Homo-oligomer: A and B are copies of this chain.
Amino acid sequence: MKTHTLLMPLDMHLHLRDGVMLENIAPLSAYSYSGALIMPNLVPPVNSLEDVKAYKARIMAAVPNDYFEPYMTLFYKNYEKAFLESVADSILAIKLYPAGITTNSEGGVSSFNIEEMRPTLEAMSNLKIPLCIHGETDGFVMDREAEFMRIYELLAINFPKLTIIMEHITTKEAVAMLDKYENLYATITVHHLILTLDDVVGGMMKPHLFCKPIAKRPEDLEALLSVALEAHPKVMFGSDSAPHPQHKKESCGCAAGVFSAPISLQLLCEVFEKYGKLENLQAFVSDNAQNIYGICPEFKEVTLQKRPFVVPNHYAGVVPMYAGETIKWAIESVD
């Protein structure tokens, strides 16, 4: 049977939430990944050194072994330089949300006034703290990411030494930015390497494939695949896996978020194999992130096997992507 081994897989965009949900789902990522960049959009958001340390401790307590590193982030606001110096060693990045743009983002940035942001962003630049951004405007749902490109450009030009990560990109416009500005990087989810809006609302409406940014057009999918499959060095994997209880997904108003954590590595194998690019997956799912963030993750060797795997209907009350469906790869062993 065909197998494929990955070393130190990394998920550079992960939502673990808190409390019982955290306890239930953190082990699923810890099982197959060496580490993950943990998003800070809790209620209230993670925005102090104490918060970061306490949240990291809760995550560590929830995972069953030492072979998983939660790389911590801070929720962006305009911070003092002295504070950033004090927190720099405890975080890997700072995550910026436009206010109200997605789950628990109410305290985010409401206007991109470069001069007001300058002291914070210059301090981050000097301290080499990357800025991760959920890049959407409040415009029409299919245009939000493309409209945000002017903000990325403004930031990339004004802060040329700041590492800026365009998170979970979904459009050809975002892909085009990678080769235009040296300091712009991107994460891509596995579901955005598979889905278009057609899969979400083209047949039946699928709440478990609904996320922000929403999956876009076929030409956008093609652009995303073109850089992911080649493991473009400025692109890395970030699942954006986000758990919601079933009743918040299958109801009269469904919350945004695809829960892919337990099957993301398997799906990545499926996608990369489908296009004959399995040899590039190692770079996409680990090496590029190590280079971009300058991290050395815990050793982990994950071997996947090409055999049918029926995705469980639930993981502790959370419905995963492709629940009940058969995917083509399974995890064989983790060392």
Contact = CB atoms under 8 A, between A and B. Distances in A.
Given A250-B250, A250-B251, A251-B250, A256 B205 contact: yes
A197 B253 CA distance: 14
Contacts of A207: 205, 207, 252, 254
Given A200-B201, A201-B200, A214-B201, A252 B142 contact: no
Interface string A298-314: 00000000000000000
Contact of A202 (B140, B204, B208): B140
Contacts of A204: 253-256
Nearest to A246: B252
Contacts of A253: 204-206
A131 interface: no
A38 interface: no
A245 interface: no
A276 to B, nearest CB: 25
A323 interface: yes
A141 B202 CA distance: 5
Contacts of A202: 140-141
Nearest to A202: B141
Among the interface residues A200, A208, A250, A255, which one has the most CB atoms of the partner chain B within 10 A?
Answer: A250
A210 interface: yes
A317 interface: no
A198 B252 contact: no
| Residue from the set A141, A201, A251, A255 with the largest chain B CB neighbour count within 10 Å | A201
Interface string A177-202: 00000000000000000001110111
A44 interface: no
Nearest to A324: B252
B197 A142 contact: yes
Interface string A85-129: 000000000000000000000000000000000000000000000
19 contacts: A140-B202, A140-B217, A140-B218, A141-B197, A141-B201, A141-B202, A142-B197, A200-B201, A201-B210, A204-B254, A204-B255, A204-B256, A205-B205, A205-B210, A205-B256, A206-B252, A207-B207, A249-B252, A252-B323
Given A205-B207, A206-B252, 8 more contacts: A140-B198, A140-B202, A140-B217, A140-B218, A142-B142, A201-B210, A204-B256, A207-B254
Shortest 9 CB-CB contacts between residues of A and residues of B: A204-B253, A205-B254, A141-B202, A205-B210, A141-B198, A250-B251, A250-B250, A140-B198, A205-B207
